[in-house]
Structure 1
């Protein structure tokens, strides 16, 4: 998916890194044939790469072939294997594609020295005495904890790498000293964890954690970073990070942008209308069919698209979003299909990967599908039918495996009759249709949404709001909400900006289109309001009655005496 030069450069650098770490790395294909064999593997297995390359692992190192696979994201198995007189710890990580194992990575670490040390400890030598001597001489990252998980010893190299004061870390719980550590767990369980990946200071290290057992009882645990020294690890880690950034920059994306963020739990409401829609969407998520989301603007179509992807078998694949209305028609093809280098003037000199290719193995969300030009509809139909794409300027096609979720606020059926949308494409997309109800159809959810949005927005704005009055809620429940949940969210945000810190949202903080009157910013005294109204009423009556005081008094249903008193009070000339 990336440029060959970039890929080859990255592979060369990774090969250098592989050959400079102390862990043996062996790569085998699904048939067991050895594809790569780094220098550490040569040293541990006492074999040269050229002797074993392309040979079956079962023939050259049968003991490794018998080791069970470790599943990713599950606890690593303790696989202790004796190879050429060495005690080694072996982990096999299967690389799967479409549920099938394509390759396997075998990681081997030489544990001979650790085993010797443990035997020394078991021969009644004092634990602290032996370990102190080891730590004084070591160039490795080592930490020792007691059975409660408190740090008893730590090598200077490791404390320097962690950026902590070595002396001050002694006596602290290991979780306060090393992030994402499992040392305290090993010290409790007594189960060894070997060749385990751990994120420290934004980078991954590979560590061994070994329980200290004396006279059959757990005394604590020793942890070791599996590199010759941490300076070299620091250098290697920076190189790997640099390579990752280069590839991300080339792709013009980061994995964070291609993940579904929302699940069905983020779709707020318990009314019958929304619950029915969510149940249909949950069932659709379990299939591989294309989905068409129909609903007014602001109803949450994108939320449903995220949730369907996240609940599907494609959850670990990319979730690619495309707003068909936001991309100019002349650029839409290159955005969706990508292009080869030098395809047109102004193109990226390295070419560009298209949205369809990025979604391979995952889901592509085509929002505002009703705004897609007819010329692009033809090309989309081919993608759906043939499961293949061809970049602009390319002379070859690529097979892809994608699921399409499309969304629109337009009447596609009417557009088909008006020849503004292809009928064949409509039927291809309209396999599972989910209609998202408007806020007018789910008024029972408005109050729940109001409280949810107040919590969400006040947190975002870092402004404490005590709540909302019953009157304000009633006004909002009786409003039509043409803009649906999106409009409701905007109104709540505006109200939170207006209301004073720590107070409640009231009707005066809502827009006039909801309450039917303007927001009152300055409150007048009731007496002043009454006097203004009284004066205005007398003046109006005088105009209607052409100055006849008797008629004015009769019209206002007051005596002539009272009329003269009020005219004098309000400085109305007779």
Structure 2
């Protein structure tokens, strides 16, 4: 799922709460197009949602200057503008996904009545009288602090929400009463803070904090919770928490899809051939040339692609993965190049960014490149040569800066002879070729790989085992491993599901095809150990047969009694 879909996903999930909070919310995508607009925004700005959704904010509401937020990528708050004779406070918050700006949320509030209140205070009306009136009339939570941050007044609703006694709160410093408060800061700096998120008792509130200024001097500050009815607070907070968790999970998935997850340190193995392969791959990472990874299925080609990107100058750019064999031929072009809105029947009405554009400034990993259709190979060759892409349905091109890492388990030279792969594309990709060795070529790594996989799978299954027997290791070293590391991992996982908790993997826990009679190797013991064991067993058997009579034992074994005693002493045989 692309970034365009991310903003759409987030907007839909948040819609259930946006319509119920006492603050106007306008959500725009990275192009400043309005994709969410709640009822309070309709009330404040005087325009219904049907007339604004899908339109550009800079055309309908130029005063909001949303493009500034998208450009700067920083939260912009404490702004006041005039719209339709109203004084509006706005806060603009960029939506970021791993350093990329994907949209903006603008929070708006009609501050006309607050400015009237402040005007009255400036006209030297008694502060206490005005605030008492406010407290009596509001259903919201209100608190007033002096310039030192001490609470002078607090509404019954606010005190009830905090779970405190109203009268006991008065006179205390606001930090002692309200968690994560900034009221004392506003009272000190005189800088208003509007529609700000604050966490109280593990839950979210949205608050206004407005300084009270008289004769040019700060007298204190008024704080207000932005809810029509605080009884709805619990429901709101729980929904926000659920949305947070879902977005976090989605963000992790998005990050995983567009970021390199592995480095060279994650590539297990210290055999000579593997060390040479990693060393060459590290050198390739430091260049800007395209890389071609070849090797059998399951050897870890994708792992090397991740590591090369992460060790390169493009490490902070996107790492975009495309499996050319997994995407139907008729969809591959739209996946790679993207499309404009309305480009074809069934297309996303907002259009879609392609994988090439998504990888701009980073790396694109084209796995199973040998399965790419010939028609698409021509288009890929043009991207490499011209360094530009053109979306389906577009009448313009876009310059891109990407590095290509391709991988295949097929013989491209043979495919060229068969007319299934373009020779010119092969030469463009085959600048730095890295052959990933099969497991058969690096049998010295099998034991260390087994230990690593036991730890990894143990965490996954939440199961501890002591390890694996030497006989089982030897058996696995002598297997051919056509499926390479992927097959090895499957065998270890199967064994760990069978073996009892806290025990070792034995031969009996391995699949029949691994154990096969030709692959079973008995443990070899030193000849002296074998002779000593046989000698001891012979003496013990003779002692048992002769009921401990040493003379008869010596005669039966055809040795002297002196020699018998020496050998009994040697083997610690009592008697």
TM-score by length of 1: 0.51
Query: Cα distance 1:274–1:445, how it changes in 2: closer, same or farther (>3 A)?
Result: farther
- How many aligned positions are there? 451
Contact 1:71 / 1:93 at 8 angstroms: preserved in 2?
A: no
Task: Provide the residue aligned with 1:175 in structure 2.
Answer: none
Alignment of 1:94-109 (within 5 A): 106-109=106-109
Give the superposition deviation at 1:457: 0.9
Q: Deviations over 1:383-417 (max 9, x none)?
A: 440555686xxx77785759554211223234334
Task: Provide the residue aligned with 1:336 in structure 2.
Answer: 332
Task: Provide the residue aligned with 1:502 in structure 2.
Answer: 502
For residues 28 and 140 of structure 1, the distance between their equivalents in structure 2, rounded to whole angstroms, comes to 32
Is structure 2 residue 280 aligned with structure 1 residue 283?
Answer: no
Is structure 2 residue 412 aligned with structure 1 residue 412?
Answer: yes
Alignment of 1:378-393 (within 5 A): 378-385=375-382, 387-388=388-389
Task: Provide the residue aligned with 1:207 in structure 2.
Answer: 206
Alignment of 1:455-466 (within 5 A): 455-466=455-466
Contact 2:142 / 2:155 at 8 angstroms: preserved in 1?
A: yes
Contact 1:319 / 1:365 at 8 angstroms: preserved in 2?
A: yes
Contact 1:320 / 1:358 at 8 angstroms: preserved in 2?
A: no
Gaps of 5+ in 1: 145-152, 160-164, 171-180, 246-253, 340-347, 521-529, 531-557, 560-574
Contact 2:282 / 2:308 at 8 angstroms: preserved in 1?
A: no
Name the SS of the counterpart of 2:366 in structure 1: strand
Q: Deviations over 1:318-374 (max 9, x none)?
A: 8353252xx5xxx832131359xxxxxxxx973589x9964252245432222x26x
Query: Cα distance 1:57–1:74, how it changes in 2: closer, same or farther (>3 A)?
Result: closer
Task: Provide the residue aligned with 2:268 in structure 1.
Answer: 269
Name the SS of the counterpart of 2:410 in structure 1: coil
Contact 1:18 / 1:38 at 8 angstroms: preserved in 2?
A: yes
Q: Deviations over 1:200-238 (max 9, x none)?
A: 9xx9x883475999xx9xx99978457888969989x99
Query: Cα distance 1:302–1:193, how it changes in 2: closer, same or farther (>3 A)?
Result: farther
Query: Cα distance 1:349–1:77, how it changes in 2: closer, same or farther (>3 A)?
Result: closer
Name the SS of the counterpart of 2:357 in structure 1: coil
Q: Deviations over 1:418-444 (max 9, x none)?
A: 544210121233345444344456566
For residues 442 and 424 of structure 2, the distance between their equivalents in structure 1, rounded to whole angstroms, comes to 33
Contact 1:263 / 1:303 at 8 angstroms: preserved in 2?
A: yes
Task: Provide the residue aligned with 1:377 in structure 2.
Answer: 374
Contact 2:86 / 2:112 at 8 angstroms: preserved in 1?
A: yes
Is structure 2 residue 91 aligned with structure 1 residue 91?
Answer: yes
Contact 1:142 / 1:224 at 8 angstroms: preserved in 2?
A: yes
Alignment of 1:464-503 (within 5 A): 464-469=464-469, 471=470, 475=474, 478-479=477-478, 482=481, 483-503=483-503
Contact 2:390 / 2:397 at 8 angstroms: preserved in 1?
A: yes
Task: Provide the residue aligned with 1:524 in structure 2.
Answer: none
Alignment of 1:137-156 (within 5 A): none
Name the SS of the counterpart of 2:323 in structure 1: strand
For residues 64 and 143 of structure 2, the distance between their equivalents in structure 1, rounded to whole angstroms, comes to 29
Task: Provide the residue aligned with 1:569 in structure 2.
Answer: none
For residues 222 and 489 of structure 2, the distance between their equivalents in structure 1, rounded to whole angstroms, comes to 53
Contact 1:70 / 1:76 at 8 angstroms: preserved in 2?
A: no
Contact 2:305 / 2:365 at 8 angstroms: preserved in 1?
A: yes
Task: Provide the residue aligned with 1:361 in structure 2.
Answer: 357
Query: Cα distance 1:185–1:265, how it changes in 2: closer, same or farther (>3 A)?
Result: farther
For residues 84 and 349 of structure 1, the distance between their equivalents in structure 2, rounded to whole angstroms, comes to 42
Give the superposition deviation at 1:157: 11
Task: Provide the residue aligned with 1:541 in structure 2.
Answer: none
TM-score by length of 2: 0.51
Give the superposition deviation at 1:64: 6.5
Contact 2:471 / 2:521 at 8 angstroms: preserved in 1?
A: no
For residues 460 and 29 of structure 2, the distance between their equivalents in structure 1, rounded to whole angstroms, comes to 50
Contact 2:277 / 2:434 at 8 angstroms: preserved in 1?
A: no
Query: Cα distance 1:28–1:383, how it changes in 2: closer, same or farther (>3 A)?
Result: closer
Name the SS of the counterpart of 1:501 in structure 2: coil
Contact 1:23 / 1:109 at 8 angstroms: preserved in 2?
A: yes
Query: Cα distance 1:258–1:352, how it changes in 2: closer, same or farther (>3 A)?
Result: farther
Gaps of 5+ in 2: 145-153, 167-178, 247-252, 336-343, 524-532, 534-556, 559-575
Name the SS of the counterpart of 2:328 in structure 1: helix
Contact 2:22 / 2:226 at 8 angstroms: preserved in 1?
A: no
For residues 192 and 481 of structure 1, the distance between their equivalents in structure 2, rounded to whole angstroms, comes to 72
Name the SS of the counterpart of 1:464 in structure 2: coil
For residues 224 and 368 of structure 2, the distance between their equivalents in structure 1, rounded to whole angstroms, comes to 54
Alignment of 1:498-537 (within 5 A): 498-503=498-503, 505-509=504-508, 511=510, 512-513=514-515, 516-517=519-520
Task: Provide the residue aligned with 1:22 in structure 2.
Answer: 23
Q: Which moved further from structure 2: 104-113 or 65-74?
A: 65-74
Give the superposition deviation at 1:474: 5.8
Name the SS of the counterpart of 1:452 in structure 2: helix
Give the superposition deviation at 1:314: 9.0
How large is the Cα RMSD of the aligned pairs? 7.3
Query: Cα distance 1:281–1:23, how it changes in 2: closer, same or farther (>3 A)?
Result: farther
Alignment of 1:302-451 (within 5 A): 302-306=302-306, 319-324=320-325, 332-337=328-333, 350=346, 358-363=354-359, 365-370=365-370, 372=371, 376-385=373-382, 387-388=388-389, 399=397, 403=402, 404-417=404-417, 419-439=419-439, 446-451=446-451
Query: Cα distance 1:195–1:211, how it changes in 2: closer, same or farther (>3 A)?
Result: closer
Contact 1:277 / 1:436 at 8 angstroms: preserved in 2?
A: no
Query: Cα distance 1:273–1:116, how it changes in 2: closer, same or farther (>3 A)?
Result: farther
Query: Cα distance 1:95–1:212, how it changes in 2: closer, same or farther (>3 A)?
Result: closer
Give the superposition deviation at 1:299: 1.7
